[in-house]
Amino acid sequence: MKQQSIIEAEGLTKVYEDGHCALDHASFGVQPGEVFCLLGGNGAGKTTAINIFLGFLPQTEGTARINGVDVRTDPLEAKKHVAYLSDVVMLYPNFTARQNLDFFARLGGKQNLSREQYYSVLQQVGLQEKAYEQKLKGFSKGMRQKVGLAIAIIKEAPAIILDEPTSGLDPKAANEFQSMILHLRSKGRAILMSTHDIFRAKEVADTVGIMNEGKMLAIKSRKELEHEDLEKLYLNYIHGKVAA
């Protein structure tokens, strides 16, 4: 029996004032314990969909729900159930890793956490112990991304949205990051991740939504992709060789 989706889009559409359609009736759902990858190139509509879920952009049509809460009608309530990580995670360079974590944990509703609890999450994401109390100004992008992921984890939200999280990471850091995503999936989190990295999508996704020019061209499960070459499939879709 299919579970209810934690992250849910129904006919989600965004048309800008200049008439440009950034998202065209996209529908999909992410269930607990599922990693859903939005796969597409620049301008495919992946980030537009994410921005709508986070209330940064109002949709023109359709509905976006997180944990059953409509993000348009009750954005603050909806955001209680989602953690977010973007590709640009500079965080606060004058704060230490723990101080950054503390600030965002408190924003996410976690008050009075002990130093050990913060350290435990930082250890979970693989940050070196000596970096816990170091200011972020000297951190590499990979290290900052780990702190960002720790921020997403500590909120303990049922939904996690990741916008191009491995972009700019070296292979080792990207691999470590991937392991963390899989770990979160095993904890029952519904993960929506945008990426243009076909290899990463195939490795981590339970479901892949292929997007191009705002349209959701296809939604393929891991099982469906087992016998297919995702790269070839993706290129066929975006070149219109396969009917959407």
Partner 1 sequence: MEKLLRNDGVPMIKILLEKELRDIISSTKFAITFGAAAILVILSFYVGIRNYEESMREFEAARAVNANNVAALTDWRQVQHKLFRKPQPLQVLVSGVTNDIGRTTEVRPQGELTLINSRYNVDPLFAVFRFLDLTFVVIIVFSLFAILFGYDAINGEKESGTLKLILSNSVSRADVVLSKLLGSFLALVVPLLVPILVGCLMLIGFGIPMSGTEWTQLGLVIVAGLLCFGAFLMLSIMISASVTRSSASFLLSLVIWIFSVLIIPKGAVLVAAQAVDVPSLDGVEAQKRKFTLQQFDQRFQKMGEFLRADITRDETWSQRFAAFQDSLNKSFETEREEYFRKLNEDWRNKKDRQEQWAFSMARVSPTAVFQIAAMSLANTDVSLKRRYLEDLDRYQEGYAEFLRKKTGSSGGMHIVMRFSGQQGAQEEERKPLNPTELPEFTERGRTLGETLSASLADLGLLAVLNILFFVGAFIRFLRFDVR
Binding site for partner 1 (CB under 8 A): 47, 51, 54-57, 76-77, 79-80, 82-92, 94-95, 99, 103-104, 106-109, 111, 148, 151, 155, 161
Q: At residue 175, what are phi and psi to the nearest 5 degrees?
A: -65, -45
Choice between 105 and 181, CB closer to partner 1: 105
Per the DSSP assignment, residues forming a β-bridge with 61 are 13
Give the CA distances from residue 114 to residues 95, 102, 106, 110, 214, in Å, rounded to whole numbers and listed in that order: 17, 9, 12, 10, 44
Choice between 113 and 230, CB closer to partner 1: 113
For 27-30, which contacts have Cβ atoms below 8 Å and span 24 or more sequence positions? 27/62, 27/216, 28/207, 28/209, 28/216, 28/219, 29/5, 30/5, 30/6, 30/159, 30/190, 30/191, 30/192, 30/207
Give the CA distances from residue 145 to residues 15, 134, 175, 241, in Å, rounded to whole numbers and listed in that order: 32, 15, 12, 37
Collapsing DSSP states into helix, strand and coil, what is residue 24? Answer: strand
Count of CB atoms situated within 10 Å of the CB of 75: 16
Give the CA distances from residue 178 to residues 21, 89, 120, 162, 221, in Å, rounded to whole numbers and listed in that order: 32, 17, 19, 12, 18
